[in-house]
């Protein structure tokens, strides 16, 4: 999808615009938006609204052809609700319905002349980001591995956002549009990686993807193999990969866009390209979805694609710890004790609590970069879905005071993009649940608060820097008829980094 912003005087020039379709908003109270009024030269639009052909409810649509007095061949009326101060939910419903209608048109291009600035509690920049991401979602295809592809997308392929001249000309808005397109492209990469079958998207595949990103965007890249990981004494990470024939890969990407002496922000992604649970084998139903256990890694790579396209002026390092968790005669057993890179001994009580084991060594490795902050991203616990459903990612930081600066940054970035997170607690009470009679830590806690004990486990490996953990088990993919990776939390992470520039 191609996007652009163009200035229009709704009273004079919108009707003269050449386009296959112009989308305008109408309200439930039978009022027209300013753009709709500007196109209603012969009363056709107001007549359609008054007749009840369109209700004005959020997501209702009506297509008019051949409206006199305008150059565009079609007008799409889109309901945005009863209130001229449009709610965020109503705006989203309207955009979704509009994009669906666009796919059915014989036109290749369209102009969107919505009252973008009227969304309650949101600014124009948010509206632009929302439309770009929604359009990207609407056209995303998941048929990469089908021998016969799904029918090609039809309808509108070029979208122009119509804005008053005083809004359209601002450099900030143009930058927001470019950033939104980059975020959408990053989400696409994350979704593509997540949706690939696990026999294709292996640790080696992720490493090659990182190398391609480095080639395309000028990143530095390093991929460590098993011998190098053994030399680093990453016993925690390596314990997870022992049962698999696929070699582990430890991937480090560097985007050094800031000043040379500026401390980097580090993103650490869990990259379990398939998780059987190991010896603590998962039940069969739904196990295919464990290909999504690398979505933390996928979100790091997707975020790097986005920041590479933007070339943001910030030092960012991405770490991906990638391997499979498989059962075999070599696999780690419940009761085994392993030694992490920082010397901590870990009693493995459940081999299906593997994500924290790979992250433990990755978080220790991150310390060498003297980071300004570290954020790890992982599909870590099913308990997070129980707590938060599929709406919010779980956010944990070391300090549970109300105004933790890093937590506030991440929460704000989520609120800006709609890719939201919700804070959950950690602390010494949860560390108490991780005590072992035989090692420094157990890899699972006593019953209760499983997401919190998992985060508390990770916290033990992060005490020399500022750190946050995002549990994306409930937000990284969807099940059922809509099965597929979502691309989250690329919008949150990218906006978090942009806000740090």
Q: Which one from 282, 333, 478, 500 is the annotated catalytic residue?
A: 282
CATH for 2-166 is 3.40.220.10
**pLDDT score of 364:** 98
Q: What are the phi and psi torsion angles at 29 (to 5°)?
A: -85, 15
Sign of CA dihedral 123, 126, 132, 135: negative
- Identify the three-state secondary structure at position 79: strand
Token couple for 70:
């305008």
* 356 belongs to the catalytic site: yes
**Averaged pLDDT, 134-143:** 90
Q: Whose structure tokens read 């969807």?
A: 478
Domain boundaries, the chain: 2-166, 182-500
Q: What is the pLDDT of residues 376-412, one digit of tens each?
A: 999 999 999 999 999 999 999 986 565 689 999 999 9
What are 243's two structure tokens? 């049962």
The candidate with the shortest Cα–Cα distance to 439, out of 422, 460, 455, is 460
Q: What does the mean pLDDT of the chain come to?
A: 94
Question: Virtual CA dihedral for 435, 439, 444, 445, nearest 10 degrees?
Answer: -10
| Distance separating alpha carbons of residues 85 and 80, to the nearest angstrom | 10
Q: Which residues contact 210 (CB under 8 A, 6 or more apart)?
A: 221, 223, 251, 253, 301, 304, 318, 320
Assigned CATH class of 182-500: alpha beta
Is residue 50 flagged as an active site residue? no
pLDDT, tens digit, for every residue of 211-236? 999 999 999 999 999 999 999 999 99
C-alpha span between 292 and 295 (Å, rounded): 5
Question: CA 187 to CA 182: how far, in whole Å?
Answer: 9
Phi, psi dihedral angles at 46 (to 5 degrees):
-65, -35
In this predicted structure, what is the pLDDT of residue 399? 66
Phi and psi torsions of 238, nearest 5°: -65, -25
Percent of the chain with pLDDT over 70: 98
> Residues 116, 170: contact at Cβ < 8 Å?
no
Read off the tokens for 30: 């039978």
Q: What is the pTM of this model?
A: 0.94
Number of alpha carbons in the 13 Å side-chain half-sphere of residue 338: 27
pLDDT digit string, tens, across residues 80-96: 998 778 999 999 999 99
The catalytically annotated residue of 356, 398, 423, 488 is 356
Task: Find where tokens 């030694």 sit.
Answer: 339
């Amino acid at each position: 999808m191609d996007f652009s912003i163009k200035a229009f005087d709704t009273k004079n020039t919108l009707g003269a615009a050449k386009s296959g379709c112009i989308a305008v908003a109408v309200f439930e109270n039978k009022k027209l938006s300013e753009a709709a009024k500007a196109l209603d030269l012969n009363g056709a639009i107001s007549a359609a609204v008054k007749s009840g052909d369109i209700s004005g409810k959020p997501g209702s649509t009506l297509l008019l052809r051949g409206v006199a007095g305008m150059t565009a061949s079609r007008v799409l009326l889109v309901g945005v609700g009863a209130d001229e101060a449009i709610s965020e939910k109503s705006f989203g419903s309207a955009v979704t319905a509009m994009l669906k209608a666009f796919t059915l048109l014989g036109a290749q291009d369209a102009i969107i002349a919505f009252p973008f600035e009227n969304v309650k509690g949101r600014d124009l920049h948010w509206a632009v980001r929302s439309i770009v991401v929604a359009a990207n979602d609407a056209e995303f295809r998941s048929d990469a591995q089908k021998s016969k592809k799904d029918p090609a997308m039809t309808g509108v392929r070029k979208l122009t956002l119509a804005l008053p001249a005083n809004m359209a000309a601002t450099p900030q808005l143009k930058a927001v549009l470019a950033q939104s397109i980059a975020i959408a492209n990053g989400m696409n990469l994350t979704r593509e990686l997540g949706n690939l079958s696990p026999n294709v998207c292996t640790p080696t595949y992720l490493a090659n993807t990182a190398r391609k990103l480095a080639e395309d965007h000028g990143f530095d890249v390093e991929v460590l193999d098993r011998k190098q990981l053994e030399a680093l004494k990453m016993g925690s990470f390596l314990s997870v990969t022992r049962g698999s024939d696929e070699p582990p890969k430890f991937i480090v990407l560097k985007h050094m866009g800031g000043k040379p002496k500026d401390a980097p922000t580090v993103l650490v992604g869990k990259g379990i390209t398939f998780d059987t649970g190991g010896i603590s084998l998962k039940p069969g139903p739904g196990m295919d979805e464990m290909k999504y256990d690398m979505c933390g890694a996928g979100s790091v790579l997707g975020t790097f694609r986005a920041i590479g396209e933007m070339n943001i002026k910030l030092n960012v390092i991405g770490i991906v710890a990638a391997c499979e968790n498989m059962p075999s005669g070599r696999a780690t057993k419940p009761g085994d004790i392993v030694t992490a890179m920082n010397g901590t001994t870990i009693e493995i009580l459940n081999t299906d609590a593997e994500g924290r084991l790979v992250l433990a060594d990755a978080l220790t490795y991150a310390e060498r970069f003297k980071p300004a902050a570290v954020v790890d991203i992982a599909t870590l616990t099913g308990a997070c879905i129980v707590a938060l459903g599929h709406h919010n990612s779980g956010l944990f930081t070391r300090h549970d005071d109300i105004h933790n600066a890093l937590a506030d940054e991440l929460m704000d970035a989520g609120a800006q993009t709609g890719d939201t997170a919700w804070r959950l607690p950690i602390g010494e009470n949860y560390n108490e649940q991780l005590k072992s009679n035989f090692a420094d830590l157990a890899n699972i806690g006593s019953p209760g608060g499983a997401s919190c004990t998992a985060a508390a486990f990770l916290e033990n490996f992060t005490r020399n820097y500022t750190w946050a953990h995002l549990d994306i088990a409930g937000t990284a993919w969807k099940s059922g008829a809509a099965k597929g990776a979502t691309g989250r939390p690329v919008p949150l992470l990218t906006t978090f980094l942009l806000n740090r520039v």
